[in-house]
Structure formats: C-alpha cells, structure tokens
Structure 1
Amino acid sequence: MHYDSFVDRTPAGALMKQTPVTFTLTAPEAKVATLLVSKADGGMQAVVMHRHNGQWTATIMPDSEGLWYYAFRVETNTGQVTYGTVAGGFGGSGQVYRDPDAAPWYQLTVVDRFETVPDWYKNARIYHIFVDRFNNGNPDGHINHPKPNSFLYGQLSDDPYYVKDGQGEVVRWDFYGGNLAGITAKLDWLQSLGFTALYLSPIFEAASNHHYDTADYYRIDPMLGTLADFKALVSGLHRRGMHLILDGVFNHVGRDSRYFNAFGHYEDRGAAQDPASPYAAWFTFKHWPDDYKSWWGVKDLPAIKKESASFHEFIAGGEDSVIGYWTGLGVDGWRLDVVDELADDFLREIRSLLDHYPNRVLIGEVWEDASHKIAYDKRRPYLQGHELQGAMNYPQRQLMLDYVNGAISPGTFARQLLTLKENYPPEVFAYNFTSISTHDTQRVLTALGEDRTKLAQMVTLWASLPGNLVQFYGDEAGLNGDVDPLNRKYYPWDQVDDEIFKWYQAAWAKRDDPLFSGNAGLTVIFDGEGLGILRYLKDEAVLVGFNATDRTVELNPQACDLHLVPEKWRDLIQTMTISAHSSVTQLLPKMTK
C-alpha cells in the first residue's frame, strides 16, 4: 500500500477552490478504499474510491477556501487500516496505521485565488539594511541629531552593547550614526552587486536604535535623516530601476511616542497622560497610567488593541493614512512586523489599500509554515488570496541550517522542503522572502559555528533553492554575531573578508541563470549521505549536489529514488563525487526535442 502526495495527487500543490483534484492510492490488497476528507473548521466526508489495476482513485472539488485534510480508509482481508502521512504532518510518502486515531492526515491548501507578485519582485535580489549600522552619508562623518540619554560608539568597529537596568530594560540606547544619505551614497555599489531592491529596518521617529518603538509614523527619525533624504533615496532607487520595501510596525508603538507619551516629550495628549486622549482607545490599561498591555511584556512597547478600528483607519484608511502616505511617496512594498499579532480584518484592510497602488507587495513576518499558522488559537488565512503575498521564509532557512550543520538527513531535508512547496501557492513558494540571517537571528556564520567551509556550502544551497535572496547587510563582508545586539554590528567597510565576499558574489550571480529563477522546476534526489537539488526548464536542467558530512561521498543516481524527477531527466543524471562540506554542479545535456 502506497501513496505519495508529491506525485499521487493531481494537480499537485495548493489549488484554487472549485478545482477538481484526483487522489491515487496504490493498494492491490484492498477490498474497499475510501477517501476521507475534512475541512479544518469541521465536517467530514467519505468518498468511495474506484479500482483500476491495483490503484484506487477518487476526485473531489473543494468548494471553499481554507485548509482541507485527507487520509484513506482501506478494507483488507486482515481488517481495516488507515493510510495517513508521517508524524509531523509532512507531505510525501505516508504509512499504514492500525489505529485510525493515530493517523496524521495530509494537508490540502485551497485558496480563493492564487497570490501573484509584481514583476519587479519576481527573482528580486533584496538587500536588508539595519539603517543605523550601515553607512553614514555625511561627508564630515557627523551624526545627525544625537538623542538625549544615549551613547555613541568611540569606534565603528566596537561591538554593540546594551546598558540595562536591574529589570533588564535598556536605559541608554546606543548608536553608530548610519543614515538614509549613507544608503543613497551606496546605491551604485549595491546595484553593481546585482541587488534590485532594498528592505530597510524601521525609519520612523523612535527612541531606540532599532526603531520598532515608533514615536511618530509620519516623521523620519532625525538621526536617520529628513523627508528630503528619504525622497532622495526613493528617487535614486527608482532612477536605477530598483525598489524599496519598508518595515511596517503596527502591533505596538513606543512608550515614548506622541500616541502613548509616557514621559511628556510630545505636545499631544498621549494615552498615558489623559484617559480622554484621542489615542486612549488604542491601548489596554490594567491600571492607568502605569500598568498596560505591552508586546511580550516589554514595557517600552505598549501594544495596540487588535480590534481598534480607529487605529486601523489611521494606518490603512486611505491615501492620507500611514501606509497611504508613504506608499504615495514611492514605497514599493511593506514587510509587516509580528503579523501574527494583527487581526485578519486589519490585514485585509492593509492589502486592500495597497491593491489600489500598482505593483506593490505585502510580506509578513511569519516564523512557521504560513499556510497553516495558528496564532492565539486561531488559524490564520495568510495565503488565501486577500492578505499576504509572501512571508519571511524562516522554515526554509532553518532547513538549510539544519542540513548544513548535519542535524537532519538529506531525506528529511527533501521531505520538509517539498512539503513547503506543496503547501504554498506557487508564486509564494517561488518568490518567498528568503534570508539566511536577519536582525532577529544569529548571523549565519555564527549559526554555523564559525565554520567557513559550512558557510560556503550554505550560501550555495541558499542560491540553488527557490525564494528571493534577501541579503542581510554585512554577512557578505564576514560579520558574525549572536542574537541581538551582536547581530547588529556596523558594516566593516575597511575590513571586508574578501574570500567570504566572493562566495556571496557567486551566489548572487547564480541567480542570473534562468535555471535558478523562481519559475524553474524543483525537485530533490538523495541517498544516505548525498543531496541533489535539481532545477529545470523545458529543455535544460542542472543538478547541484551537496555533502554535509566530514568525508567524501558519491551521489549515485542508481542508489537514489528518482520517482520525483521528471522522467526525461532521470537517465541523464551522472554520479557525482562530492568532497566533505562542499557542493558540485552538474549541467545535464540539453534536450533537443
């Protein structure tokens, strides 16, 4: 008895509602086979399957979007069994369960419409900048408008360090002096490296260096520059055919903001100053004014009520709203911080507003598989066609790290990667927002134990898989660092690691080859130790082999299960000898007919 969701369901992957989908179970020993189908919000149906030469088929047409789940009930001469997927709910080959309650069911993603992304975002190479830590564009190097009760580093090479009180709260924010003008000054350099878009950490006025504690959504932080500096950056990007993605932080604001105004630094009557403030309804006070709901208990970040209609209107209510204003000034896309904390109706409002502007994109910070994310006991319909166009691809990042670090086998890597492909709408998977370091993680070199050989392999794997490359500033220069604040060092302009830089350049250049574009086909082959990533178009294909072990291995197609490989390519794959912690590329012979 056998079923593999990657090949035995037609069409494969996510599908639109009202699309017929056929399931084929191989079970010559079965007397009766039944397809069990259940929608995530309840209700189950049993569909009798039809037999033909030992295979059983059934076709259904899901009538509504959402997550559907399925398994097979099979009657044999020895009794009734259930065929479901493996533990963890991953796609691919499943197994027989005697106890039906023990059988995990397969996921079927059904959407209202397939998400699409603008042409500029397809195969975009995106450079992620933590603005204070990148470059100071002032010719004399002076720092714009230093903040009170903060400190500036004596040397740009100093490691970041937080000054905290006994409760662990930062009491002196630290700054290096990077600014928007510094980014504009580097646009030619960034374009020469092949980058087509920038993603900036928050740039609106705030008390901290990270600016996730927004103080004024309509003002550029004075340390980062002026509105004129912002417009110059946008103009410089668009003149070069490049694009800009901003970080939208709409779950919380700063304690030191015009909306909360705990310290009275703003003329506005903030919620912490006056219970009748126009902003008071945005917040939840347990005891006014000093006990309030905040993001994960961080008192510096008062949380916005999820259901606050006035806040939703303020952020996404039209062309004069926060998103409308900045998008009207040329912002090409938004990455939504902690999107799990935002209500679905708010997300739809944001998406609806952005849809009024041509060629914009909306990305969400989701750390798990975004197709079935549950947040606050509610399944989130992020990818159903009306909310996000993509998510931060943390699951794929973790898979790559686990494989290169030897924590998972090639087979586990293959199953979990192809499960993401199966669960996500096609363009979401093809062009997902894929970083190997971010401001919220260890830098990749540190995550790999400072092993440079592993880093070279990791960077090649990153470029070989689908997903837009999102390059965290400084990784290419050799920066390391544990989590915040050590992952937020200043760019080492005078101490770039040339060897590491060349590895990244090769990875970026790989994306010039259409075989590594988002719309190229993907499958995976593997044996006990070797892993092969096959990318293919109509008449050409390339296989990139990887070895995460400490010894040389052979990736022999005769020892691999090739059932996931399109038949026309199977006989063309040759044995690859791969050194320890390295990769080998094999271009398959081009099809002539």
Structure 2
Amino acid sequence: MPDRAAYNSRDSRCKSPYGAVPSGTKVQLTLRPLRAEGFSRATMSARFEFRDDATVTLNMPWSGLDGARDLFTCTLDTGDYVGLVWYSFGLERLDGKGRKMFGPYQLTVYDGGEVVPEWFGEGTTYQIFPDRFRRTRVPDPQGMVGGRWVHTAWQEEPEFRPDKNGEIRNRDFFGGDLKGVMEKLDYLQGLGVETLYFCPIFEAAENHRYGTADYRNIDPMLGTEEDFIQLCAMAHQRGMRVMLDGVFNHTGYVSRYFNGDGFYPTPGACQSEDSPYRSWFNFIHWPDQYESWWGIYSLPAVNEHDPSYRNFIFGGQDSVVRRWLRAGADGWRLDVADELPDDFVRGIHEAARAEKPDAVIIGEVWEDGSTKVAYGVRRRHIMGRHCDGLMNYPFRNAVLSYLKGGDAADFVNAMETLRENYPRFAYYSAMNSLGTHDTARILTLLGAEEGCEHQSKEWRSNYRLGPDQRRRAKELLKLGAALMFAFPGSPTVYYGDEAGMEGFEDPFNRRTFPWGREDSELMGWFSRLGHLRKQSPALRQGDIHYRVGKGPVLAFTRTHGEETVLAVFNTGSEEATLRLRENEEAQLLLGSARFHTEPEGPLLTLQPRTGSLLQIVPVPEEEEE
C-alpha cells in the first residue's frame, strides 16, 4: 500500500493549490516520508502529455521537518501549457541502496482565460422528452417526414416490437408539443426549475428525433418557430433558461441532407454526387455504403472536418448554433460529444459565446471527462473553451451504487477524484442526474429484483413494482434526490421521475407523463428540494466538505459566506447517529433527522433509508465573567 501520509495529492501539505489549476500556476509539491526511513534525496518527474510527452525532472531539496517526517519540496511551473501532466516522485537513501517511487499522479492544467457562466450549475434542470411530456391536441401526421403514426390515447404503451421487416423504427408518436410545455410552465416553476433541457426538437423521422432531418425547422408536430420563440420568452419571464440538444455527429437517413428515402424535393448526398451535401458524408461506396453512427444505417455519420458543414453548424452568422440562440435558446447540450473533433467543439463554443456571451455548452460524456480517450485521442472537453460542463454519469453511477447498499466511502472517493481532476467551473457546471432518456427509470432500478434484464422485452413492458418494492424504491429515490440537490452541479430531473414514473430501457423509460396520476408524495419532495436549491446560496455555490463517508452513512456540508447546509444520508435499514461539533446546532430544512443536545455534544439521529438537509447554526460562546 502507498504511504498516503508521505504524499496525498488532496492534502494541502503535499500539493498546493488543490486540484486542477489554470495554466501559468506554480504548483508546490511536497513529499513527507518518515525520517526513520532515512531518505536523503528526492526528485519529481513531470510528463506533459499534450506537449508530445515532454518530461521535466526537478530536484526536491530538503525543506525541513514536520514531526517525524522529512519534507522535500519543489515548484512545478505550468507556464503556458494546457493539458494533462503526469507527475511522479523518487526517493533515495544516502547509501544509494534504497529507492522508493510514488505516482504517477494526474494534474489537470486548463485554460483559465475566460469567465464561465455560473447560471447552469446553480439551478435545477428539467429534461423534457418532447413527444411524451404534454400534448394540446391529437396531431395529424399526414405529409410529415418519416411515415409516422400517432397513438390516440395518451396512456398507451410505446411501440417496442419490430415491424414486418424486423426493424424497430420508432415511428410511433404521441404528439407532445411546445404549446403543451407552455401550458405547464407554471408547474415547472412550482418545482423550482431554472433550466429546461429539451431532447431534440428539430424535424426528424423518429419519435426521439436524434436523426435530424432539418436543423432549421422545428418539427411540425411540435409546433412552429414562432411557438419556440414564444416558449423561450415565457420561460425567461419566469426566470428559466432553455437548453437545446445539438445532434451534430450524424443526421437522419431520412433528411434533407442525406435524403435516403427521397422525401425531400432537392437531391441529397445519396442521390447525386453534385448535391451540396455530398461532402458532408463519408461514402465507402457511393451511394449505398457509408459511415454511420455505431453502424446504424438510419444515422449516417457526417464529416465534421468538411468546411461547408462546419460553416453550416457554427461558422456563419446564421449557423444552426447561432440561429437558435438568437431565437431564444440559452445553451446547447452536445450529443455524443466524444465523437466530435475537439476543434469542432471549440468552434461551437466560440460561436455560442459570440452570439450570446452567457450561453453554455454541456457535453454528453459518460466517464471522467478529464481523462477521456475517444478514437485514440485524449479529449480536451473541460480544458477550457470547449465544454463548460459535462453530463455527470460518474455521479449517477456512484449514487446508484450507494443507494443499493454500497459503502459511502466509495461514493466520496469517486466524487473527490472528479473534484480533483476537474476545473472548478466544470465540476460546478456538471449535469447531475439520476436518470435520463438513455437509462432505465430510477424508481424501477431501485425497486426491481435482480435478473429482470434477462426477461423478455414483452415481460419488461408489462412490469410494474409491487407495493412493498415501490415503497422501498420511493424511500431510496427521495434520499438520492436530496443527495443530488445538495451536491455541486445542476440537479437534473428527467421528466416524470418526480411523478413516480417507472420503466426499464427505451422505450419504457420514455412513456407519457402521467398527468392527473402523479405520485403526490414524490412531487411534494421534489418541489421542496427545488425551492431549497433556488433559495440557498450554499447549495447553489458553496464549497463541499465531507464529514462522514462510511458504510451506509454519508454527510457533507455546503458553505457559502455565513451559510452552511449539512446534508446527511443513511441508506441502511437501521437507525444511525452522527455527532456534530460542540459549537453547532442544526435546524431541519427537509427530512426526518432529529437533533439532540447531549452531555457528550450535539447529536443527529438518522432514520433508515432517509436523507435530510439541515441549517448549521454556530452556538455563540459564553462570555467569561
């Protein structure tokens, strides 16, 4: 086991400043071996990965004693470098016979030359799958792209069976529309929502609309451009922002650009080599063999290096990115950001900021975004001037593991690894969620028995939690939601999770919102969390400090200025206790934790499978007479 007391990158005695640093920072590094080990010489070696692995070796002179430990210190100057640095240490004894190595450790050096807007990470985000949220009428699909059909009843089950050709085509629609969202803005405001994140809203053949047919046209089943402008204006009047889904890695086979089925009157890339869109796609053999996303023929991949495509998406004054920001959007979430070249992402970022200085770009990344490698290239997602934040699937994975009986220590370690690796702007602008359109419903995951993934899709379509399963799942969901709302980054609610929706994978996680059949207990809980988040500077911007992370018990504080909020959680099946500091009292904001004053000091009692948020109030010291 490594001697973490000799070097711990999260300890200010060993490394300062903490975590990721802007370029130009001089980082002080200190080794602290036991004096009894007899080390007399220390060196530090730093490899600058984004500078062709150039390596710098520095001597670490002896700098004093700290109790029983020698101190060896050096300063690493990051200069104008932006990227990852991997640094290691070596210790030698005077006789040269003993050597000890530490590392490598990661240092993220980012471009700190711009101010990243803070609005996204501070407030609650609500993710809307447009076809399934709210409809104001049963639409007529005649004349629309894709050969769609519409469910007459809102409560029907989404179609999941293959068609006669064995394909799952996603052409069944329910007719959710933008006017339906407008009707429910007061509802969303009542949840404390500050950002509306829409899955794609542009014209497309499939109900998920991730195979874009026309980037310049709102899907007619959703409404018109005027409807979108009105929705944005109404949202802004309520203090909400609007984020769109940018699907720029691929288009639809059925699209104005590829035009695989000939729906559009002008020739697409697969119809004519003279098409203005021909260079957008990579044909292996024109016109029937081409690169596509994950080999799915209906999603032909675009060539993001093509000048005309780049100009269309972000280069021109009327580019897609700028056009919809002008219409009222406030930011973009980039679908499959790993599959977009870094300079393409940077171009989107520059265009967005040029059009709207406080526009935000969030990337879809499923792993630690600081070390992500895609197609053999280390990505620059959060090195500055690319993505302002990422979808935080590592957070979701860590929360799920904890809720299902995992050790709170694992959650703390996973999140502290991210906090250490991420620039502060990226950590605080993360999109934290318990569920999305790409994952099973959180309530189902928390309540269903093991082995359901081996059942047939027909079985999973009919599955619902039993009363005892649902009760337990709701307890854990309330705990998980409180954890999400108390954590740095934007708490993101997938539509209907607050209403108690269930369902396994797509399309069962994309059922219609159960208007009139919501779970009132969960609705009330999410609403209270949303308003606490909106009102508390500590929850919006505060630093995080862990107090306990062991077994089923997790506790941390968020502090901003004079305000400190304590978040406490117990996933166990038995009552747990947490001792506060002697000069503290706790006022309950949300939950069921009980505060007691005892001779040994203040104590919190945590009920099984609960989470609570409390205001920490310092107790004034008594003046001596």
Q: 1:414 to 1:261 in 2, by over 3 A?
A: same
Structure 1 counterpart of 2:362: 363
Structure 2 counterpart of 1:343: 341
Contact preservation (8 Å) 2:170, 2:207? no
Structure 1 counterpart of 2:394: 395
Contact preservation (8 Å) 1:365, 1:392? yes
Contact preservation (8 Å) 2:26, 2:78? yes
Matched, 1:583 2:602: no
Give per-residue Cα distances to partners, 1:514-537, cap 9 Å, x unaligned: 354342110223354222112223
Which residue of 24, 30, 36 corresponds with 2:30?
A: 24
Matched, 1:37 2:46: yes
Paired residue type of 1:439 = H
Structure 1 counterpart of 2:557: 534
Matched, 1:507 2:529: yes
Which shows bigger deviation, 178-187 or 499-508? 499-508
Which shows bigger deviation, 493-502 or 283-292? 283-292
Q: 1:592 to 1:422 in 2, by over 3 A?
A: farther
Which shows bigger deviation, 228-237 or 110-119? 110-119
Which shows bigger deviation, 25-34 or 211-220? 25-34
Distance 2:249 2:336 in 1: 7
Contact preservation (8 Å) 1:539, 1:591? no
Paired residue type of 1:40 = E
Structure 2 counterpart of 1:247: 245
Q: 1:124 to 1:586 in 2, by over 3 A?
A: closer
Give per-residue Cα distances to partners, 1:422-477, cap 9 Å, x unaligned: 11111221131112111111111122135222111111111111111221111111
Which shows bigger deviation, 376-385 or 109-118? 109-118
Which residue of 411, 414, 423 corresponds with 1:413?
A: 411
Paired residue type of 2:72 = W
Which residue of 517, 520, 523 corresponds with 2:542?
A: 520
Contact preservation (8 Å) 1:163, 1:171? no
Contact preservation (8 Å) 1:206, 1:257? yes
Which residue of 194, 201, 204 corresponds with 1:203?
A: 201
> What is the aligned-residue identity percentage?
39
Structure 2 counterpart of 1:324: 322
Which shows bigger deviation, 145-154 or 304-313? 145-154
Q: 1:381 to 1:243 in 2, by over 3 A?
A: same
Which structure 2 segments of 5+ residues have no match? 449-472, 582-599
Distance 1:367 1:481 in 2: 21
SS at 2:510's partner residue? Answer: coil
Distance 2:320 2:610 in 1: 47
Paired residue type of 2:74 = A
Paired residues, number: 557
Q: 1:540 to 1:189 in 2, by over 3 A?
A: closer
- Mapping for residues 410-489 of structure 1, pairs under 5 Å: 410-450=408-448, 451-489=473-511
Distance 2:601 2:46 in 1: 38
The alpha-carbon deviation at position 404 of structure 1 amounts to: 1.1
Contact preservation (8 Å) 1:453, 1:582? yes
The alpha-carbon deviation at position 277 of structure 1 amounts to: 1.3
Distance 2:112 2:620 in 1: 36
Contact preservation (8 Å) 1:66, 1:381? yes
Q: 1:591 to 1:302 in 2, by over 3 A?
A: farther
SS at 2:72's partner residue? Answer: strand
Which shows bigger deviation, 128-137 or 156-165? 156-165
SS at 1:448's partner residue? Answer: helix
Q: 1:171 to 1:127 in 2, by over 3 A?
A: closer
Distance 1:172 1:444 in 2: 23
Paired residue type of 1:133 = R
SS at 1:155's partner residue? Answer: coil
The alpha-carbon deviation at position 149 of structure 1 amounts to: 3.6
The alpha-carbon deviation at position 161 of structure 1 amounts to: 2.1
The alpha-carbon deviation at position 547 of structure 1 amounts to: 1.9
Paired residue type of 1:200 = F
Distance 2:241 2:561 in 1: 31
Distance 2:351 2:606 in 1: 50
Q: 1:556 to 1:315 in 2, by over 3 A?
A: same
Structure 2 counterpart of 1:546: 569
The alpha-carbon deviation at position 208 of structure 1 amounts to: 0.5
Which residue of 85, 100, 106 corresponds with 1:81?
A: 100
Distance 1:588 1:342 in 2: 45
The alpha-carbon deviation at position 591 of structure 1 amounts to: 7.4
Distance 2:322 2:182 in 1: 23
Paired residue type of 1:478 = G
The alpha-carbon deviation at position 116 of structure 1 amounts to: 3.6
Distance 2:384 2:531 in 1: 32
Which structure 1 segments of 5+ residues have no match? 85-104, 559-571
Give per-residue Cα distances to partners, 1:353-394, cap 9 Å, x unaligned: 112122211111111111111110000111122211111111
- Mapping for residues 252-331 of structure 1, pairs under 5 Å: 252-331=250-329
Distance 1:119 1:296 in 2: 34
The alpha-carbon deviation at position 574 of structure 1 amounts to: 4.6
Matched, 1:68 2:89: no
The alpha-carbon deviation at position 575 of structure 1 amounts to: 4.3
Distance 2:312 2:383 in 1: 25
Contact preservation (8 Å) 2:185, 2:235? yes
Which residue of 51, 61, 70 corresponds with 1:50?
A: 61
Give per-residue Cα distances to partners, 1:179-216, cap 9 Å, x unaligned: 01111111122123221221111111110101111111
Contact preservation (8 Å) 1:271, 1:277? yes
Q: 1:367 to 1:166 in 2, by over 3 A?
A: farther
Distance 2:152 2:513 in 1: 15
The alpha-carbon deviation at position 578 of structure 1 amounts to: 2.4
Paired residue type of 2:288 = D
Give per-residue Cα distances to partners, 1:259-286, cap 9 Å, x unaligned: 1111111111101111221111111112
Distance 1:418 1:591 in 2: 30
Distance 2:514 2:58 in 1: 62
Distance 1:512 1:345 in 2: 35
The alpha-carbon deviation at position 164 of structure 1 amounts to: 1.9
Which residue of 6, 9, 30 corresponds with 1:5?
A: 9
The alpha-carbon deviation at position 176 of structure 1 amounts to: 0.8
The alpha-carbon deviation at position 172 of structure 1 amounts to: 5.8
SS at 1:492's partner residue? Answer: coil
Contact preservation (8 Å) 2:191, 2:526? no
Structure 1 counterpart of 2:372: 373
Distance 1:401 1:527 in 2: 15
SS at 1:459's partner residue? Answer: helix
Distance 2:520 2:114 in 1: 39
Q: 1:340 to 1:119 in 2, by over 3 A?
A: closer
- Mapping for residues 54-133 of structure 1, pairs under 5 Å: 54-63=70-79, 64-76=81-93, 79-84=98-103, 105-113=104-112, 116-133=115-132
TM-score normalised according to structure 1 size: 0.89
SS at 1:199's partner residue? Answer: strand
Give me the CA root mean square deviation: 2.2
